[in-house]
Each structure stands twice: as structure tokens, then as C-alpha cells.
Structure 1
Amino acid sequence: MSNKELYFGVMSGTSLDGIDVALCEIDNDGIELIAHHSYSMPAKIKDDVLSMCLGQSTSLLDVGTLDRQLGHLYAEAILSALKASNLAPKDIRAIGNHGQTVYHHPNGSDPFTLQLGDANIIACKTQIDTVADFRRKDMALGGQGAPLVPAFHHTIFHPTESTVVVVNIGGIANISVLRPNQPVIGYDTGPGNVLMDGWCTRQHKGSYDHNAEFALSGQIHPVLLTKLLDEDYLAQPSPKSTGRELFNLKWLEAKLQPLTIKAEDVQRTLSEFTAVSIANEVDKFRHGSFPQLLVCGGGAKNPLIMQRLQALLPKWAVKPTAEEGVDGDYMEAIAFAWLAQRRIHGLPSNLPEVTGASKSASLGVIYPAN
């Protein structure tokens, strides 16, 4: 393939803070973000997703209804982006839609992952070929089905003499380790914003801690921090991936027993937990005289997290990916545009050394518009 093509990448992540749509131009020479749009997720749909993620009582009717509602919601977001960009459906080669993860269970005797958002509805409503269901083929090949973005990071960031680590701090934090002449390493390090956002919401401080104001009003509680860091997942070797199924408020409540701690001190300690659990993993891969940690996702806008990462990693240059020319807010949406392009052209898009799959494969299922 040599001609430039336009793709939409669509992502709604663990944080459930909205739907990101990235319009990208892709060819053999690379990928360029042409335009981006963000759309809010209706409160009712967000509540239904959270309920399902956290294992509340549900039914096949609930699952089917939410799948359909999300399909229409994604389609509406794409159509709005199409209109805003003054483009027609025929101008877009394909849509890459991740879907909304409601359960990720990569281990055990029957591993599976489930993303909702009916891609048939998206393809029919937008009249654009749609690629979805990116994770299950990797799992069928024995992999974790996640993380998938390290393969994309590998194409856009190029280490020379020193290590480059890209950390996406969404609901869950994941790293991509890029080293000169070495295989890519990538895995979920643990919680990103998910516990901080959940606790903030419970304390009626909003859906997230704006500028870390709530956390900065408190102090780190050493006993709680030790208990948080004493989590089996953190010590597991990669490949590994996780989600709300483990790191949720019920998990936090168990760690809080029998302690009595001020709400703001809990928030401050959760911030430190996120920073420490990331930094502990990143520093394992330090190599060269100028290692860099590039931060994207919502956590890149949290001044306390960024400050603590730099303090915990004094030999690293810690900076947002925007300083390297990639908008960190839309990194994952851009990645799924790239993944769609790989599938349309039958190109491999997973990294077996990252996910644990038995071989590389072109991920995703194509849902034709007609």
C-alpha cells in the first residue's frame, strides 16, 4: 500500500470519561492526526457499564441492550466527527472501534474478554466499513488480548541510545518499553486513575480530582500505601493485563480495613500508589544516558502524578507525549485507527512478546458497510 487513506479511530476507555474520535491519515510513511473530537457518555450508559464491569447482577437482556445502545452512540459520535470534518462516508477507508470493555478475564481455564458496541450498527449507520473485536483473536492464540497499543508505540517512537518508555495513564496504567535493538515489552502496571476517580466520586468531589486538588489537601498514609502495594498482581511477571475486575472500590475497601483515615489522605495515598506502581516498573528498564518516560492519557494532566513520577525517577526525563508531537489525549484512538488500517490490509498488528500470543496476527473483524 502506498496511497494515503483516512481512518477514524474510536476509543472509550476504563475511565469512562467520554468517547474519543481521531481522524487519521495513514500510509507507508506513517500516521498523521488530522482532526479529533471528544463526546460525552450519557450518565445512564456510564452507570450501566460500571454496573456490568463491577459484577452487579445483570441479564442477557441488559447485555444486549447496552451493546445496541453503545453501537448507536459510537455511530453518532463518528457521524458528528464526519460532519465537523466536512467529509463524506466515501472519503473514509474504515473505522477502528475498540468498543467498551465490560469484562476482561485473561487468565484461568476459560480466559475471555468482552467489549460492547455493536459494530454492525456502526457500519450500517455511518456507511463506513468498521473494524472491531480486536482482542479476541490474540486471546484465541493464547495471548492476553492486551495491551495492543505497544505495537503502535513501536511504530511512532524510535529509541536511539537510551530506553524510551511510553506510559498511558487511563483508568488502568500500561507501559510500552522501547529499547534499541531489543524486543518491545508492554503490560498493565496496575491502576491509573480508576481508584482515584472512584474515591473522588464517592466523596462527592466530582468525577475526577481536578488538578489533584483533593489529593494535595491530604497526606500519604504509609500503612495504607504498604497495603496497596502488597497486591499479588504487581509482582506477577509479564505478559499480564488487568482492569476494573480487580482494581475497584471493593478492593480498596478491603485494604482500608481496619484503618481509620481521612478521605483526603486516602486520595493522596491513592495518587502515590499509582505513581509508585508505575515508577517501580519503569525503572527496571533504564538503559543509556538519557532514558525518557513519555506520558499520555488523563494522568498526564495530573500535576501531582507528573511531579511524583519525576521525583521517583530522577534519572529519567519525564514529559507528556505531546512534547514528542503526539496528542496524549487521543493516543489510543489514533492507535485503533492504525490497528484498523493494519486489518484492512491484512498486516500483523499484535506483538506476541507483549501479549503472550503464540504468533503474530492481523487483529480485528471487518464489518462491511454494505
Structure 2
Amino acid sequence: MHDYFIGLMSGTSLDGADGVMVDFSGDRLRVVASASEPFAGSFRAELLALNAPSHNELHRAALAGSELAVVYARVVAALMHQAQAQGIYAVHVQAIGAHGQTVRHQPQRTSNAPSGVGYTLQLNHPALLAELSGIDVVADFRSRDVAAGGQGAPLVPAFHQGIFGNGDDSVAVLNLGGISNLSVLPPSGATWPVVGFDCGPGNALMDAWCLRHTGQPFDAGGAWAKSGRLIPALLGRLLDEPYFGQPIPKSTGRDLFSLAWLAEKIQPFAGERPEDIQNTLTELTVCACTAGVSSYGKKSSELIVCGGGAFNLHLLERLQTALPWLRVSTSDAHGLGPLQVEAAAFAWLARQMLRRQPGNLPGVTGAAGARVLGALYPA
């Protein structure tokens, strides 16, 4: 008996939507189909603008959520086209897990809110996606964890444990999206739990700087950064951010690591070569991630890298140099492509919701307990 789910993910890199159809019926999940669609430049710019207060933002956010649902629907159609060649049709798919596009993430408790809890906001229009696809949709995964006092993120460590966990050794998994997040997975029988948190910037600042100075949406292979030189004083200024010293649980996003944050940090270095700043921004990501691994993943034998940053060869080389006791690999060496991991995680979260099983790890997010995550939008 097959157990088909679709997962959709569009992350803080704002580069597009990734989707997978997976079959959970075996001992390990099987990827049936995968597809992605880049965001149009104008849509990407609008999503980036909606990360900060702006004119008429409620109206514009509603329109952006609908546009995202249309992009998601096209990804689903591409997945179904591949699946139909294998005799799999929409009626066989139990649900779509659609994360939405995070534009605000403020989960911290606040005295300004009557409930005392913060919030997290993902643009989406799951009802429209259900209408367009003819498949049940599960969305809004983070809110219940935040309502229970948690960060609402990261939600993938439980999935990482099931997919990448090694019975004999501790393994660390680093997702390099716009923001970087780390999962440290204990071996079987360990007395310590899964650890997970956001390290800080991943690709977001590097991509923005690359686009501004080269016109390219990302630094392919990290070649531009590698051509530059480190600016130690700038790196020190970038690392002088209180978030890096905060204890876990913690999560972050473009609310903090924004273009305005970057502009303020680099202002004294306006005369430096752009490629040298790119090299330094890459090193910022390396430092943020290696600090997390050094603090919580010392017992790990391997660092598995996924997300778009897994294709940045210079970044991978720097991670391996900074973490010589670990073997640095990418997730495709473990059966799941770097751009498939987070999408597959949201397929798994949709499955957890339909089975009324928890999707969060309270020790990771800080929530008061395990919670069933997500809301169902029937087709």
C-alpha cells in the first residue's frame, strides 16, 4: 500500500519553489518525482519588500499569497505529470504540505500582545492551492508551536533524525538556505535529545550582494567569493551581533539579517572591493555555522549539508577546513538531493498532521510540549 504525499517549500533565499512527491510506505521514503520553478524577478522583489513595513502591505501580501499558490500549483502539476507516467494520479495523493513564504518571524514572547506570545507569518493561499490542484492541502505549520510558547522553527530536525540519523554515530545536518539551521542527531541509545536551531545567515546576504554587484542571483560555486580576500575588521563587525551569543532555543530570519542590517554593518567599508566583501560574507556564514557545530556537534562524525548552499563549493571547502574532525558531505550522498530535503520535510509534516501526530520537538523549539502542526484545507 503506497503512502504518497507532496511537499512544497519556498525559503528565505527567495529563489523559487521546490516540490517533491514522496512515498512513505517503505522503510525509507522514496522520491517519486521532483520539480522546481524559479520566481520571476518582480515577484521576488515584492516578496523581499514585504519582509519590512511598506505601503499598502496587507493588500499586497494577500495578492502575493495568491500568486505563490499559483506557482505552487504549477510545481504540483509538474510533479503529477511525472507521477502519472508511473500510474499515480491526484486521487492517490493524500495531501500537499505547503510551507508558504515566511515574511515575518517574531516568535519571542512580548508584553505588547494580549496573549504574551509572538507570531510567525507565512504568505500563502492554501485554499486556492487546493482548488487548483484538486488535492487536500496542509499549511500553517509554525503557528501552533508558537502558540505553545515555541519558536515555530526549525521544524525539520525530527525529519532529519528519521532520514539521516545514524544508529552508531552522532550526525549533524546543516541546511544552507537563506538562513542556516543546524540539526544535531544523537546515535541510537544516546541519553541526549536532538538539538536544532538557526545559526544565522545562510545564503541570503551573499545572494543579495552578488545580485547587486554582478547581476547574478547567486555566486555560482562560490567562485566570486573565492576570488576575493577576507576583510577581518568587517568580519568582526558582522559577528558583533547579539543573536550569535544567544542560547538555544532560537530562530531568526530576514527580520534581523536584512539588507538594512547589512548596509549598516558595511558602511565603514564602502571603499572595499565587492569581491572582498563577498568573501567576508561567505566567512560570516562559515563562522555562524561552525560555531553551532563546535558548541553542540562536537561528538558528530559527519556534517551533511543540504539547501542551495550545498552547491557553493567554496563554502563547503571552508566548512571542511574549519571542522577538520568532521566529514563534510552533501545530502545527495545520502539519497536525497539538497533541494529536496526541506520540501520532503513538509510532506512528512503534512503526513504527521493527517495522522494527528506531533510535528515539533519541544526541546528544539522551546514549545510547552509536542503539538500537532498545520491546518487542513480539503480539496
TM-score, with normalisation over the residues of structure 1? 0.95
Aligned residue for 1:355? 365
Amino acid of the residue matched to residue 79 of structure 2? Answer: A
CA displacement at 1:28 relative to structure 2 = 6.8
CA distance in structure 2 between the aligned counterparts of 1:169 and 1:54, rounded to whole angstroms: 23
Amino acid of the residue matched to residue 275 of structure 1? Answer: V
CA displacement at 1:63 relative to structure 2 = 1.7
**Deviation string, structure 1 residues 309-340 (Cα, Å, up to 9, x no partner):** 01000111111111122211110000001111
CA displacement at 1:204 relative to structure 2 = 2.9
CA distance in structure 2 between the aligned counterparts of 1:293 and 1:185, rounded to whole angstroms: 14
CA distance in structure 2 between the aligned counterparts of 1:261 and 1:8, rounded to whole angstroms: 46
CA displacement at 1:108 relative to structure 2 = 4.0
CA distance in structure 2 between the aligned counterparts of 1:127 and 1:105, rounded to whole angstroms: 33
**SS, match of residue 214 in structure 2:** coil
Match of 2:159 among 136, 152, 161: 152
Aligned residue for 2:46? 48
CA contact (8 A) 1:31 1:338 kept: no
CA distance in structure 1 between the aligned counterparts of 2:275 and 2:298, rounded to whole angstroms: 37
Match of 1:297 among 301, 304, 307: 307
**SS, match of residue 10 in structure 1:** strand
CA distance in structure 1 between the aligned counterparts of 2:78 and 2:166, rounded to whole angstroms: 37
Amino acid of the residue matched to residue 323 of structure 1? Answer: A
CA contact (8 A) 2:33 2:82 kept: no
CA distance in structure 2 between the aligned counterparts of 1:48 and 1:205, rounded to whole angstroms: 18
Aligned residue for 2:321? 311
CA displacement at 1:345 relative to structure 2 = 1.0
Aligned residue for 2:144? 137
Aligned residue for 1:61? 59
Task: Label 1:243 to 1:76 Cα distance change in 2 as closer, same or farther (>3 A).
Answer: same
CA distance in structure 1 between the aligned counterparts of 2:57 and 2:295, rounded to whole angstroms: 44
Task: Label 1:284 to 1:267 Cα distance change in 2 as closer, same or farther (>3 A).
Answer: same
Aligned residue for 1:19? 17
CA contact (8 A) 1:199 1:249 kept: no
Task: Could you tell me which runs of 5 or more consecutive residues in structure 1 were left unpaired when the two chains were aligned.
Answer: none
Aligned residue for 2:95? 94
Q: Which moved more, 1:54-63 or 1:224-233?
A: 54-63
- Work out whether 1:173 is the aligned partner of 2:180: yes
CA contact (8 A) 1:211 1:303 kept: yes
Match of 1:257 among 253, 259, 267: 267
**SS, match of residue 27 in structure 1:** coil
CA distance in structure 2 between the aligned counterparts of 1:39 and 1:286, rounded to whole angstroms: 34
CA displacement at 1:162 relative to structure 2 = 3.2
CA displacement at 1:161 relative to structure 2 = 4.2
CA displacement at 1:47 relative to structure 2 = 1.3
Aligned residue for 2:245? 235
**Deviation string, structure 1 residues 281-327 (Cα, Å, up to 9, x no partner):** 10223455x61111001111101110000100011111111112221
- Work out whether 1:343 is the aligned partner of 2:353: yes
Amino acid of the residue matched to residue 296 of structure 1? Answer: C
CA distance in structure 2 between the aligned counterparts of 1:64 and 1:249, rounded to whole angstroms: 23
For the aligned residue pairs, the C-alpha RMSD in angstroms reads 1.4
Task: Label 1:286 to 1:74 Cα distance change in 2 as closer, same or farther (>3 A).
Answer: closer
TM-score, with normalisation over the residues of structure 2? 0.93
CA distance in structure 2 between the aligned counterparts of 1:177 and 1:49, rounded to whole angstroms: 31
CA contact (8 A) 2:97 2:347 kept: yes
Aligned residue for 1:281? 292
**Deviation string, structure 1 residues 196-232 (Cα, Å, up to 9, x no partner):** 0001111134110012121122100000001111110
CA distance in structure 2 between the aligned counterparts of 1:286 and 1:151, rounded to whole angstroms: 16
CA distance in structure 2 between the aligned counterparts of 1:205 and 1:44, rounded to whole angstroms: 14
CA distance in structure 2 between the aligned counterparts of 1:11 and 1:258, rounded to whole angstroms: 37
CA distance in structure 1 between the aligned counterparts of 2:18 and 2:223, rounded to whole angstroms: 25
Match of 2:135 among 120, 128, 140: 128
**SS, match of residue 105 in structure 2:** strand
**Deviation string, structure 1 residues 60-103 (Cα, Å, up to 9, x no partner):** 21122112222222122212321232142102111000011111
- Work out whether 1:193 is the aligned partner of 2:203: yes
CA displacement at 1:119 relative to structure 2 = 0.5
CA contact (8 A) 1:74 1:117 kept: no
Q: Which moved more, 1:354-363 or 1:83-92?
A: 83-92
CA displacement at 1:159 relative to structure 2 = 3.1
Q: Which moved more, 1:189-198 or 1:204-213?
A: 204-213
CA contact (8 A) 1:19 1:77 kept: yes
CA contact (8 A) 2:195 2:296 kept: no
CA displacement at 1:4 relative to structure 2 = 2.6
CA distance in structure 2 between the aligned counterparts of 1:202 and 1:286, rounded to whole angstroms: 35
Aligned residue for 1:74? 72
CA contact (8 A) 1:148 1:350 kept: yes
How many residues align? The count is 366
**SS, match of residue 328 in structure 1:** coil
Task: Could you tell me which runs of 5 or more consecutive residues in structure 2 were left unpaired when the two chains were aligned.
Answer: none
CA distance in structure 2 between the aligned counterparts of 1:215 and 1:26, rounded to whole angstroms: 40
Aligned residue for 1:29? 27
